[in-house]
């Protein structure tokens, strides 16, 4: 649940980018950070391993300023995608308000995507949360791989594998090119805020 | 989570996002234009084509996904909005929120960077983060050189950070809690615009009391022995804890005086900024070069103990003076 201080008029929402290892979660955040650098007074915190993989999580807080007298703060997190870091993923999911599931479009990552989504569902269940009741945006990343001759999964396949039941809004994206990264963010932020508003009513 | 009719609040959120990132930010240039924008009910984003997009309605109580169909009318609205925005014909913000209080960016907190580091510490404590923590505190020392209360908090934080760094996994768990608590207090006094001097002082004295209580309850020597056993691992940590030798005497005297601006500078000198600490490290390395590994470790541990004692003495002295 978001941190909401009615007296001080502060709303703080936590959005987590989830997905299999090397699907581009950190690249998403890095792109977002690069796009708003200079307008948002905060830094991205990233803890990497030697191999430049996310060891613990990436964290990028940004302040949206005052909106209808409320100070709105958004905290973006990623989780380490590797299977062995499940306890960390659980920890980062605590108190999550919105989720972006980043799927890897490469054909050979099909099973990883499904496993990661199932893992997300299980980890949310540990907190008594239902994946269907949390604002969620699907992002099918690495669509640019097709232009490089790498076999990618068809959009229909990704939808069938990951979004058949959830029917969440989705974006085809390329984090390295910045394609649809910001629209994904905009969508999840507005969905999350709408959900919080609904919850407060 | 989607609502058919967005509230003014959500619309304002979208406007703010547009202001931060731009309407078309993220759209790749010609090469990627082939990739269709497949956003199910993308609100202020360009929604794809005329097909019916189905989106999940997560707001419904009860948990199960409820889908709603976004019909042609809605799509037409979205497309019209997008077209208007592209053509610059409509300023959504003014149209919708003209009567509301004008938005303004939130003020930048001087503790912005320190807070990021503190948040990192809540998740994981490692040498690199503690090193950043130390550097940031040194920087803030300069920023708040005329604010004795803030300087006092910074000293407590610096000591606790160095204690945790030196002790590593052997650190007393209460030290991290105390560090977080001290940071919260510091943030409170810095960000509360209407706080009186007396209130600030009272919060600071309470923090010193907690610090003293904690310091009285830990055994520095015991930790030192453990650090000794840790062997070579203690050596790189020495860098953070060890003062430049020439500054040791200043630190010893610091607690005996009322912490006026001058005396506050003394502990700062005893805890050199990053640049100086590199020179200090070289001196230490030179000193231990001719020693056996065991002697070098013993030297490092002794120096570490000395630093910790000095810091505690200094803070105790300060507390006595303030009483």
The mean pLDDT value for A142-155 works out to 91
Residue A172's DSSP bridge partners are: A140
Nearest-angstrom CA–CA distance, B39 and B55: 9
Give A157's contacts in chain B (Cβ within 8 Å). none
Check if B1 contacts A (Cβ < 8 Å): yes
ipTM computed for the complex: 0.76
Q: What is the DSSP string of A110-132?
A: HHHHHHHHHHHHHHHHHTT--GG
Instruction: Count each helix (H run) and each strand (E run) in chain A, helices first.
Output: 5, 8
Check if A33 contacts B (Cβ < 8 Å): no
- Poorest-confidence range of A77-91, B71-85, B138-152? B71-85
Q: Confirm if B184 and B210 have CB atoms less than 8 A apart.
A: no
Local structure of B285: helix, strand or coil: helix
What local confidence, expressed as pLDDT, does residue B228 receive? 39
Nearest-angstrom CA–CA distance, B248 and B258: 19
CB contact (8 A) between residue B56 and residue A190 = no
Q: Confirm if A67 and A111 have CB atoms less than 8 A apart.
A: no
- Whole-number mean pLDDT of chain B? 59
Q: Confirm if A105 and A111 have CB atoms less than 8 A apart.
A: no
Best of B11, B19, B56 to disrupt the A interface by mutation (most A CBs within 10 Å)?
B56
Identify the H or E element spanning B56: strand B53-57
Residue B275 contacts by C-beta under 8 Å, 6 or more apart in sequence?
Answer: none
Check if B14 contacts A (Cβ < 8 Å): yes
Check if B99 contacts A (Cβ < 8 Å): no
- B236 pLDDT exceeds 50? no
- B71 pLDDT exceeds 60? no
Most confident of A167-181, B95-109, B213-227: A167-181
Nearest-angstrom CA–CA distance, B56 and B8: 21
- A105 pLDDT exceeds 80? yes
Closest approach of B142 to chain A, Cα-based (Å): 20
Nearest-angstrom CA–CA distance, B172 and B174: 5
Tell me the CATH class for A3-200.
alpha beta
Most confident of A75-84, A130-139, B70-79, B132-141: A130-139
Name the residue with tokens 């987590």: A16
The mean pLDDT value for A78-88 works out to 74
For chain A, give the longest Cα–Cα distance. 56
What local confidence, expressed as pLDDT, does residue A65 receive? 78
Give B112's contacts in chain A (Cβ within 8 Å). 41-43
Give A142's contacts in chain B (Cβ within 8 Å). none
Q: Is A176 exposed, middle or buried (0-12, 13-18, 19+ CB in 10 A)?
A: middle
- Poorest-confidence range of B159-173, B214-228, B249-263? B249-263
Most confident of A20-29, A130-139, B32-41: A130-139
- Whole-number mean pLDDT of chain A? 84
Q: By CA distance, what is B127's nearest residue in A?
A: A47
What local confidence, expressed as pLDDT, does residue A32 receive? 85
Most confident of A130-139, B92-101, B209-218, B305-314: A130-139
**Residues recorded for chain B:** 323
Check if A197 contacts B (Cβ < 8 Å): yes
Q: Confirm if A18 and A100 have CB atoms less than 8 A apart.
A: yes
Regarding pTM above 0.80, the answer is no
User: B286-304 pLDDT, tens per residue?
Assistant: 665 566 566 666 666 777 7
The mean pLDDT value for B252-278 works out to 35
What local confidence, expressed as pLDDT, does residue B322 receive? 63
Closest approach of A138 to chain B, Cα-based (Å): 9
Nearest-angstrom CA–CA distance, B88 and B24: 13
The residue with greater pLDDT, B73 or A76, is A76
Nearest-angstrom CA–CA distance, A1 and B76: 35
What local confidence, expressed as pLDDT, does residue B163 receive? 84
The mean pLDDT value for B153-180 works out to 84
The residue with greater pLDDT, B252 or B199, is B199
Other CB atoms within 10 Å distance of the CB of residue B49: 12
What local confidence, expressed as pLDDT, does residue A142 receive? 95
Check if A186 contacts B (Cβ < 8 Å): yes
CB contact (8 A) between residue B64 and residue A132 = yes
Nearest-angstrom CA–CA distance, A45 and B33: 32
* Helix-helix angle B148-167:B197-217, to 10 degrees: 20
* Helix-helix angle B293-322:B234-241, to 10 degrees: 30
Q: Where are the domains of chain B?
A: 8-97, 112-322
Residue B140 contacts by C-beta under 8 Å, 6 or more apart in sequence?
Answer: B110, B111, B114, B150, B154
Closest listed residue to residue A165, CA positions, set A102, A95, A118, A100: A118
Q: Where are the domains of chain A?
A: 3-200
The mean pLDDT value for B79-89 works out to 42
CB contact (8 A) between residue B45 and residue A71 = no
Most confident of A180-189, B235-244, B265-274: A180-189
**Residues recorded for chain A:** 201
| Residue A164: pLDDT band with limits 50, 70, 90 | very high
The mean pLDDT value for B194-219 works out to 84
- A130 pLDDT exceeds 70? yes
Nearest-angstrom CA–CA distance, B47 and B80: 11
CB contact (8 A) between residue A167 and residue B100 = no
- B41 pLDDT exceeds 70? no
CB contact (8 A) between residue B58 and residue A195 = yes
| Residue B273: pLDDT band with limits 50, 70, 90 | very low
Closest listed residue to residue A175, CA positions, set A83, A78, A107, A92: A78
Beta-strand runs (E) in chain A: 3-5, 10-18, 45-48, 54-67, 70-78, 98-104, 136-141, 170-172
Nearest-angstrom CA–CA distance, B127 and B144: 25
What local confidence, expressed as pLDDT, does residue B321 receive? 67
- Poorest-confidence range of A92-106, B99-113, B250-264? B250-264
What local confidence, expressed as pLDDT, does residue B239 receive? 35
């Amino acid at each position: 649940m978001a941190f909401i201080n009615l007296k001080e008029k502060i709303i703080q929402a936590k959005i987590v980018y989830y997905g299999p290892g090397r699907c581009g979660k950190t690249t998403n955040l890095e792109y977002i950070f690069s796009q708003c650098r200079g307008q948002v007074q905060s830094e991205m915190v990233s803890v990497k391993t030697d191999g430049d993989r996310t060891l613990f999580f990436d964290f990028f807080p940004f302040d949206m300023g005052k909106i209808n007298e409320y100070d709105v703060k958004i905290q973006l997190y990623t989780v380490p995608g590797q299977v062995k870091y499940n306890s960390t993923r659980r920890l980062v999911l605590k108190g999550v308000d919105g989720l972006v599931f980043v799927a890897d479009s490469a054909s050979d990552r099909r099973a990883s995507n499904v496993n990661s989504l199932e893992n997300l569902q299980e980890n949310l269940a540990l907190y008594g949360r239902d994946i269907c009741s949390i604002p969620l945006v699907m992002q099918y990343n690495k669509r640019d791989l097709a232009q490089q001759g790498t076999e990618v999964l068809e959009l229909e396949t990704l939808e069938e594998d990951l979004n058949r039941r959830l029917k969440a809004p989705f974006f085809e994206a390329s984090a390295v090119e910045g394609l649809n990264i910001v629209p994904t963010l905009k969508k999840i932020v507005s969905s999350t805020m709408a959900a919080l508003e609904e919850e407060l009513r | 989570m989607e609502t058919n009719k967005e509230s003014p609040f959500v619309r304002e959120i979208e406007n703010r996002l547009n202001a931060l990132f731009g309407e078309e930010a993220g759209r790749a240039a010609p090469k990627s234009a082939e990739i269709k924008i497949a956003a199910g009910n993308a609100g202020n984003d360009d929604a794809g084509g005329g097909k019916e997009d189905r989106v999940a309605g997560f707001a419904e109580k009860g948990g199960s996904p409820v889908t709603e169909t976004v019909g042609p009318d809605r799509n037409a609205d979205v497309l019209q909005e997008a077209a208007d925005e592209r053509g610059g014909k409509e300023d959504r913000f003014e149209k919708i929120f003209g009567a509301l209080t004008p938005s303004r960016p939130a003020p930048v907190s001087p503790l912005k960077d320190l807070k990021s580091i503190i948040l990192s510490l809540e998740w994981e404590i490692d040498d690199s983060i503690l090193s950043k923590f130390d550097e940031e505190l040194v920087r803030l020392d300069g920023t708040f050189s005329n604010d004795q209360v803030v300087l006092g908090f910074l000293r407590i934080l610096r000591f606790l950070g160095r204690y945790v760094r030196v002790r590593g996994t052997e650190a007393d768990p209460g030290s991290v809690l105390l560090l977080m608590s001290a940071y919260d207090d510091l943030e409170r006094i810095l960000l509360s615009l209407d706080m009186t001097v007396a209130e600030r002082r009272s919060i600071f004295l309470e923090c010193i009391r907690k610090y003293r209580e904690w310091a009285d309850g830990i055994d520095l020597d015991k930790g030192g022995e453990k650090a000794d056993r840790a062997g070579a691992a203690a050596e790189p940590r020495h860098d953070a804890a060890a003062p430049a030798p020439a500054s040791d005497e200043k630190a010893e005297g610091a607690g005996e005086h009322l912490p006026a601006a001058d005396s506050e500078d003394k502990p700062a000198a005893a805890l050199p900024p990053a640049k100086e600490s590199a020179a200090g490290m070289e001196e230490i390395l030179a000193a231990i070069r001719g020693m056996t590994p065991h002697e070098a470790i013993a030297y490092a541990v002794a120096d570490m103990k000395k630093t910790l004692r000095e810091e505690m003495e200094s803070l105790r002295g300060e507390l006595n003076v303030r009483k």
